A and B are shown apart, each in its own frame.
Chain A
């Protein structure tokens, strides 16, 4: 740690940490970041750039870092593209720079840098044009290998993540002086306060400076304030937490890194990272500012860094940037960095100030210490390969070019400062409008559209005293808005800090050759390798909109979202277009502020908790019997129950035969059930079903078809009349919630005069469908007191009674064509009923069957499934179900639409049966049907909606929607070319027991 100062800083010299970077072993101290530890060791080269594989180092000391991106850790826990400036050091840390193979020090792809003239702006759009197929196999894989950033881990993530919702009166974003002052003011007023800060300790900019607050070191003041905040019951401080998204209605999201600083592997039960979803009354944005680089020739060599970053490394981490530094600036404030280095015993070779007559208060002090001051000058060139070794300084001429003599100054670090950009990212995300201030060349928060206030540096107030004052005022105001305090801010502590001083915006330093000529690159966007010449080229090629230039050149499109690049890029574009910056406009910042892991976004919603699995009362029985499950909505339903050695085909065939020949039972609990009561219940049903319910007798059941007012079928089911004004409606499994909402919608919005109450009872009842010629015998054994003969209990009727010792409702309805009872018992007795039926049915060959057998059985009988035989464009007439459409009712949902021209077309797709000439061929569902064989394109006349091998018929069967289908009965049509033009006969869509003779057993 050659560049570590003997004393000072806030690292813990007692705790030595070992780490490996780019294959080399290093040591650092507790409290270091990876970047600060590398700098203390004299290592600035971290990685290679995205496009040209130029050697890159550490530019910043924080979240805005565009270039020191690293791949952290190994194996399943490796994480790409982390900013070395934000990775806290832990013992045993292993990392490597991205984009370099085999290493940043010796990169095989560095030749791309020599080919740079071949990679201008829009390179991808211009080069990889043809042939299209090359994109998939040649261009994209090659580009990804060459220009991708880090690697994603290939094994599942071993860590756990979670989420938390939180409400507060006042959310303060940023733990610098302004944020601390705001949190103190709001917290003391009694408001519920949440302070979110991305660093390990509060302090923000104070951590990088030697300013004093309340008579003590700023960082010490921040620490004391943290203690005061921790003692307030209604204040919560989240450190190591990045507020990354500002959404509507003061909803915000933050990303907390709970264990990353401890190294890989999370303590038992603890999540590695946590996503906080915040709902705030008012928000105080104290997000600070980012120093902006100056754009000059080859300004991206390792060793070139922001002045404030060097200052932070020096004052907080006690690490000097190098042996000899040069400062290049356009403002007074940056002199402080040079001054701090000199004070700490380091060497500053020169200060290069592009202003002709600067009057920085610290200038005389520096000159006294032997620092050469070059005014009206710029760095015209930098030299060195893997580290800057010297710079060439020249005077600025009248016309903006260089003039006079050029000096070579030896140095191993260059501190640059182009001024400060307020961190307006979250303000912009909140849909606030930005305003441009010409004098300092900065974008400021303008008109806010949400309940927020930006304060301190984020608001363009760079002085420490004004940061504290604005923060305290905003905190007090926000608390008052929530009903706490009178809005009077508490007094703020005295400070000892210089005012920010003067600045002259300066966007582009001339090089030794005209821009775009020669090898020098004026780097604007360090992450995406976008140069000033690229932006000028885009302007020359006719790009005018900032949004287009951004996408064409990729400026600001990296994982850093151009935090250091955007404003410089905009100003250079404006200059090239001969416009002002506000005229060019600004691109919108979008979440996330810095990248967020997928793990945190997913939280606990992974694996078994990803989505609720809805289980019936008999679920555990099905599981124990080895059922294969089918997801239906969120439900899991038994699909089939394989016996040892059986495949799906064999199991389904056996289950179907059992229902046709003996008895089967199906768990039908998932069907929706709605209890409908009220004097106008019948009127409601007459309006929502196509058929009439006013004629239904109490104790009887009717099948109904439900349509939208567009005339299209959207649900079906049976409804039983339990009393004069009391019905029980059933719905399909997937539509249960939707149908209840449908009824409520009409009742509440269109027909409020109807006196009807609808209540879901889906999960009050467990439902077992008992079907087959022996069903009556099985039921009789468990319901000895119930009269089950056809006269006492006819088809389409309902009975209440005791089944398996439990109060039950039994419906005589059938979805298989066989004699069938649907038995409903209270949910908690479902398992008992099921087991009683299995026991009673053993002598009759009872067989549990799943949804696949149910589908085959109903298709044999020609019963539709809504969503399979219908697709939202299917009318009852298309389905051949005119019999269920009332001719007498004057109005009901759907009726009016059927007289529209399109609904009356003769050539609509109609439901038909399809029998392949070859009975062994089972058409895939969705198969397209055509009229003739021949060379495609051939017009499609329909498609297969259901297709099965029917064990009952011993052949394949299918249902299909076919244009003018009913008129084609008996004709031969063909399954689409993919099926080899298989000939098929169009038939009635009923293959089994068309007369319904089996339903009574």
Chain B
């Protein structure tokens, strides 16, 4: 393990614009660096699922379009019938990966470190839904999309993981690095009409 060097976020160039954005009813901020592990498991392999759940402190969600948060603050995002994104604090990283790998040893699985692959953008406030609906084709109305809902979809012209975390509503948008500047620019633009006069 190399000595910790300061990582540079793909959104670093937009830091000022994000920090200075003020809008009525909606806030935007870049999310913190995270540990992210892509976990592939056969969902019929109950033993493997149980083993993973034990390490993670909670069951991997089996319901599509949902995310679960475990007792130790790790979020488990359903990505597909045999695919999850495990996200935890940046510090949790290597240890979580090693423990999971050890417990799943011998079972067909794939555990891939994708911590560095994404940026996250947090959007929150009563008008956050209105802003997202300028570029999201899915129904985000509270009757259809509630805290804990988590989908992979298109937002504007970028593929994202959209996770509603509370009913403010707050959303955590996970986007691949290379699209993050485009997406953040798009969001800032979409918020502009709510700027105070």
Contact A192:B179 (CB < 8 A) given known A164-B134, A615-B10, A826-B116: no
State the Cβ distance, B148 to closest chain A Cβ, in Å. 19
Chain B positions 104-126 with a Cβ under 8 Å from a chain A Cβ: 108-110, 112-118
Assembly CA distance A829 to B8 (angstroms):
6
A620 touches B13 (CB 8 A): yes
Cβ–Cβ contact B178 & A635, under 8 A: yes
List the one stretch of B53-61, B64-72, B139-147 in contact with chain A: B139-147
Q: State which of A615, A755, A804 has its C-beta within 8 Å of the C-beta of B108.
A: A755
Closest to B110 in A: A757
Contact (Cβ within 8 A) B158 A759 = no
Residues of chain B within 8 A of A777, CB atoms compared: none
Does A954 reach chain B (CB closer than 8 Å)?
Answer: no
A602 to B: closest C-beta gap in Å: 13
Given A763-B176, A763-B177: A826 touches B185 (CB 8 Å cut-off): no
Given contacts A167-B139, A827-B10, 17 further A-B contacts (CB under 8 A): A165-B133, A165-B134, A268-B195, A612-B179, A614-B182, A617-B8, A617-B177, A678-B110, A759-B40, A761-B117, A764-B115, A764-B116, A764-B117, A765-B116, A802-B2, A826-B115, A828-B116
Q: Which of B67-114 contact A (CB under 8 A)?
A: 82, 108-110, 112-114
- B189 CB-CB contact with A under 8 Å: yes
Cβ-defined partner of A761 (8 Å) among B82, B114, B157, B182: B114
Contacts of A277 in B (CB 8 A): 137
Given A609-B185, A763-B178, does the pair A828, B108 have CB atoms closer than 8 Å?
no
What 1/0 flags go to B1-39 for Cβ under 8 Å of A? 111011111101100000000000000000001000010
A604 CB contacts on chain B under 8 angstroms: 134, 186, 189-190
- The answer to whether B192 has its CB under 8 Å from any CB of chain A is yes
Q: How far is the CA of A163 from the CA of B136 in the complex (A)?
A: 10
- B114 proximity list for chain A (CB < 8 A): 759, 761, 764
> Given the complex, which residues of B lie within 8 Å of A164, measured CB to CB?
133-134
Alpha-carbon distance between A515 and B56 when the two chains are bound, in angstroms: 87
Identify the closest chain A residue to B108 (Cβ).
A755
Whether A612 and B157, one on each chain, are in contact in the complex, defined by CB atoms closer than 8 angstroms, is yes
Minimum CB–CB distance for B130 against chain A, Å: 8
A542 lies within 8 A of chain B by Cβ: no
Q: How far is the CA of A277 from the CA of B134 in the complex (A)?
A: 10
A192–B141 CB distance below 8 A: yes
How many of chain B's residues have a CB under 8 angstroms from any CB in A? 53
A753 on the interface (CB 8 Å rule)?
A: no
> Which residues does chain A contribute within 8 Å of B158, judged by CB atoms?
612
Check B179 against A614 for contact (C-beta < 8 Å): yes
- Docked Cα-Cα span, A66 to B114, in Å, equals 60
Tell me whether A828 and B186 are in contact (CB under 8 A). no
CB atoms of B192 and A269 under 8 A apart = yes
Partner of B110, one of A163, A271, A759: A759
Closest CB of chain A to B110's CB: distance in Å?
4
Q: Is B181 interfacial (CB 8 A cutoff)?
A: yes
CA distance A166 to B130 in the complex (A): 10
Contacts of A192 in B (CB 8 A): 141, 143
> A664 CA to B38 CA in the complex, in Å?
34
Task: Provide the A637-675 mask, 1 if CB < 8 A to any CB of B, else 0.
Answer: 000000000000000000000000000000000000001
Selected contact of B133 from candidates A166, A270, A804, CB within 8 Å: A166
A611/B157 contact (C-beta < 8 A), A165-B134, A279-B139, A616-B178 known:
yes
- From residue B10, how far is it (CB to closest CB) to chain A in Å? 7
CB-nearest residue of chain B to A828: B7
Q: Which residue of A lies closest to B42 (CB)?
A: A755
B180 (CB) vs chain A CBs: closest residue: A615
Chain B residues contacting A831 (CB-CB under 8 Å) are: 8
B149 to chain A, nearest CB (A): 14
Binary interface profile of B, 138-167, with partner A (CB < 8 Å = 1, else 0)? 010101100000000000111000000000
A-B pairs with beta carbons under 8 Å apart, 12 shown:
A162-B190, A163-B134, A192-B143, A269-B194, A277-B137, A604-B134, A609-B185, A612-B182, A763-B117, A806-B2, A826-B7, A826-B116
How many Å lie between the Cα of A617 and that of B10 in the bound state? 6
Q: Do A761 and B112 have beta carbons less than 8 Å apart?
A: yes
Determine if A807 is an interface residue (Cβ-Cβ < 8 Å): yes
Q: With an 8 A cutoff between CB atoms, is A832 at the interface?
A: yes
Collect the chain A residues with CB atoms within 8 Å of residue B192's CB. 269
The one of B5, B38, B185 in contact with A829, judged by C-beta atoms closer than 8 angstroms, is B5
Q: Mark A675-695, 1 if CB is under 8 A from B, else 0.
A: 101110000000000000000
What 0/1 pattern do residues 811 to 835 of A give for CB contact below 8 A with B? Answer: 0000000000000001111111000
Identify whether the interface residues of A are mostly helix, strand, loop, or mixed: mixed
Q: Which residues of A contact B136 (CB under 8 A)?
A: 165
B47 in the interface, Cβ–Cβ < 8 Å?
no
Known contacts: A604-B186, A613-B182. The answer to whether A827 contacts B116 by CB under 8 A is yes
Interface string of A607-635 (1 = CB under 8 A from B): 01101111111001000000000000001
Contact B110 A806 (CB under 8 A): no
- Give the distance to chain B from A194, nearest Cβ to Cβ, in Å: 12
Residue among A270, A279, A763, A805 having the largest count of chain B Cβ atoms under 10 Å: A763
Contact of B40 among A620, A757, A765, A804 (CB under 8 A): A757
* A752 vs chain B, min Cβ distance (A): 11
The smallest C-beta distance from A601 to any residue of chain B, in angstroms, reads 15
Contact with B along A14-51 (1 / 0, CB 8 A): 00000000000000000000000000000000000000
Nearest CB to that of A270 among chain B residues?
A: B193
CB distance from B77 to the nearest CB of A (A): 14
Contacts of A163 in B (CB 8 A): 134-135
- B115 to chain A: which residues have CB within 8 Å? 764, 826
Chain B residues near A608 (CB-CB < 8 A):
185
Q: How far is the CA of A613 from the CA of B13 in the complex (A)?
A: 14
Once the chains are docked, how many angstroms separate the CA of A167 from the CA of B137? 9
B177 contacts across to A, CB distance below 8 A: 617, 763, 827
Q: Contacts of A763 on B, CB cut-off 8 Å?
A: 116-118, 176-178
Q: What are the residues of chain A within 8 A of B82 when measuring CB–CB? A: 757
**Cβ–Cβ < 8 Å partners of A826 in chain B:** 7, 115-116
A805 adjacent to B3 (CB under 8 Å): yes
The answer to whether A609 and B117 have CB atoms under 8 Å apart is no
Give the residues in chain A near B113, CB-CB below 8 Å.
764
If A165-B134, A763-B117, A807-B2 touch, whether A828 touches B178 (CB-CB below 8 Å) is no
Least Cβ distance of B75 to chain A in Å? 18
In the complex, what distance in Å separates the CA atom of A763 from the CA atom of B159?
14
Identify which of A614, A635, A827 contacts B117 (C-beta below 8 A): A827
> Do A677 and B8 have beta carbons less than 8 Å apart?
no
| Residues in A whose Cβ lies below 8 Å from that of B33 | 828
Judge whether A828 and B144 touch: CB under 8 Å.
no
Q: Which residues on the A side are within 8 Å of B190 (C-beta)? A: 162, 604
Which A residues are CB-close (under 8 A) to B135? Answer: 163, 165
Which residues of chain A are within 8 angstroms of B193 by Cβ–Cβ distance? 162, 269-271
Closest-CB distance, B125 to chain A (whole angstroms):
16
Q: How far is the CA of A863 from the CA of B157 in the complex (A)?
A: 34
How far apart are the CA atoms of A764 and B182 in the complex, in Å? 18
Contact with B along A747-766 (1 / 0, CB 8 A): 00000000101010111110
- Interface residues as binary, A152-179 with B (CB distance below 8 Å gives 1, 0 otherwise): 0000000000111111000000000000
The CA of A759 and the CA of B143, in the complex, are separated in Å by 34
Cα distance A165–B182 in the bound complex, in angstroms = 20
Instruction: Tell me the nearest residue of chain A to B1, going by C-beta.
Output: A807
How many angstroms from the CA of A350 to the CA of B82 in the assembled complex? Answer: 80
* Interchain CB contact under 8 A, B116 and A614: no
Closest 9 CB pairs of A and B: A828-B7, A757-B110, A826-B116, A614-B178, A167-B139, A612-B182, A757-B40, A677-B110, A269-B193
CB interface residues, A 292-321, toward B, < 8 Å:
none
Report A-chain residues with C-beta under 8 Å of the C-beta of B185.
608-609
The reply to whether B40 and A828 form a contact with Cβ atoms under 8 Å apart is no
